[in-house]
Structure 1
Amino acid sequence: MSPEFWQQRWQDNRIGFNQSEVNPLLTTYFTALNLSANSRVFVPLCGKSIDMVWLVSQGYDVVGVELAESAVQAFFSEHDISPTITQSTATEHTDNPAVKCYQGLLLGQIIQLWVADIFALTADDIGQVDAVYDRAALIALPADMRLRYSEQVRQLSNNVNGDVSSDVNGNTPQLLLTLNYDQSKRNGPPFSISSGQVQQYYSNHYQITELEGKPSILNAAPELTVTEHVWLLVSK
């Protein structure tokens, strides 16, 4: 998918993927990450997700990345936050004014949202990360981008390890949500991800545990039989 595709979706307000309620799989399974208070959670391709508000309400700081600046602006506006806006000072971004950082406080926690192509950022940009929550990023990407994406998220978040793993040099744990459906009837986004593909993208670096798979409804194609899966990824 080109950056222009997602920019246009936000511009046209074709954002059916944006949910009005917190994802119940997040509230049910986030404790599996075993994070301490004030841990920092990375939310890739975050949009203006209400899930970030839930994370803040649980006492976590949030750092997100979103391609569409209008989505980031909408998040801060809808939650009555006056953000501080800065342009990245990293050398590799000096000629790219589109790379910006919006930061504010919500319920006493820090929310920092980057406006950028996720592949343009570095771990130095993102800073400390204790866990990754991927609800709608992997499933938004076509197959030829997913392996690169999974490795980029690992690189962006590998500067610290969460409490769930005993390997202090390992990879930051992730809570990953995916969808599975018959691709012959529809071919995303959101894209169908099989259990075999999850293994393909993550098994080199993570121990993968499926926490739940349950029936779900895809707003764009309610007639489809869809299963939503939640995975815990822990450093090997």
Structure 2
Amino acid sequence: MDAEFWHSRWAENRIGFHLSDTNPLLIKHWPALQASREDTVLVPMCGKSIDLDWLAQKHENVVGIELSQIAVRAFFSEHLYTPLVVEQGNGNAMYQFDEITIHCGDFFTVNAEPADVVYDRAALIAMPESLRKAYVERLLSLTKPGGRILLVTLDYPQDQMDGPPFSVPEAEVKALFEGCQITHLERDDADETHPRRQRGLTRFAEEVWLIETPALAL
């Protein structure tokens, strides 16, 4: 992962990926995970997402992982939260306030416990193709056996636009999560008025997936 790229994006406030409201796809499809209030929720590469607050209203333990200290501090300051900060060495730190914990550090090395359920809106699609397999392996290692992942991806002709966000089409999703149960929940194809289409893309779609990891054998 190109850490400097993401540090510069946050430092320059070039964060077009950040949503100012709760993602409607999260609200619509979260019930498919059948998650209890006691289930731990993991949000990889969470930025300063408002989705964290929405999830914290429904779950007692919401854990984000974010590389940028600017993003982590912005999340807490914009919500007027004063977190407990625990330094963890190597520039990593853990920020905690009520139900929300954010690990500030590299997703691939940060010390986080496996979660029951995962919400990935902007992490996999932020990965270049060369890193996606390693990302998914790490993500699955942070998901408990029998855990569920709500995954949002994009599908567009990659040769028509540079990422991130990158296109991760259906065939790649199925290959990356081979061995898991994969359910396609939604595909939303943008019409010609969508900003991405107006930049010249011949097609642009958001897709939503339910990924269920294998349970432990008895």
TM-score, scaled to structure 1: 0.84
SS in 1 for 2:189: strand
SS in 2 for 1:118: coil
**Equivalent pair of 1:16/1:219 in contact (CA under 8 Å):** no
Aligned residue in 1 for 2:106: 117
Aligned residue in 2 for 1:104: 97
Are the structure 2 counterparts of residues 218 and 127 from structure 1 closer, same or farther at C-alpha, using a change threshold of 3 Å?
farther
**Equivalent pair of 2:38/2:60 in contact (CA under 8 Å):** yes
Gaps of 5+ in 2: none
Paired positions, count: 210
**Equivalent pair of 2:41/2:59 in contact (CA under 8 Å):** no
**Equivalent pair of 2:196/2:204 in contact (CA under 8 Å):** no
Pair 1:208 & 2:169 matched: no
User: 2: distance between equivalents of 1:15 and 1:195?
Assistant: 26
**Equivalent pair of 1:62/1:111 in contact (CA under 8 Å):** yes
Are the structure 2 counterparts of residues 222 and 46 from structure 1 closer, same or farther at C-alpha, using a change threshold of 3 Å?
farther
Aligned residue in 1 for 2:206: 228
| Aligned residue runs from structure 1 range 124-135, under 5 A | 125-135=111-121
- What letter matches 2:103 in structure 1? W
Q: CA deviation at 1:189?
A: 0.4
Aligned residue in 1 for 2:40: 40
Aligned residue in 2 for 1:149: 135
| Aligned residue runs from structure 1 range 149-168, under 5 A | 149-158=135-144
Are the structure 2 counterparts of residues 22 and 30 from structure 1 closer, same or farther at C-alpha, using a change threshold of 3 Å?
same
Are the structure 2 counterparts of residues 194 and 157 from structure 1 closer, same or farther at C-alpha, using a change threshold of 3 Å?
same
Are the structure 2 counterparts of residues 54 and 219 from structure 1 closer, same or farther at C-alpha, using a change threshold of 3 Å?
farther
> What do the CA deviations read for 1:95-147 (whole angstroms, capped 9, x no partner)?
x1x11000002xxxx100011101112xxx32251100000000001000000
Aligned residue in 1 for 2:168: 193
User: 2: distance between equivalents of 1:21 and 1:175?
Assistant: 18
- What letter matches 2:165 in structure 1? P
User: 1: distance between equivalents of 2:38 and 2:102?
Assistant: 17
Moved over 6 A (4+): none
Gaps of 5+ in 1: 89-93, 159-169
> What do the CA deviations read for 1:169-198 (whole angstroms, capped 9, x no partner)?
x34210000000111210210000110100
**Equivalent pair of 1:174/1:234 in contact (CA under 8 Å):** yes
Are the structure 2 counterparts of residues 70 and 5 from structure 1 closer, same or farther at C-alpha, using a change threshold of 3 Å?
same
Aligned residue in 2 for 1:15: 15
Aligned residue in 2 for 1:49: 49
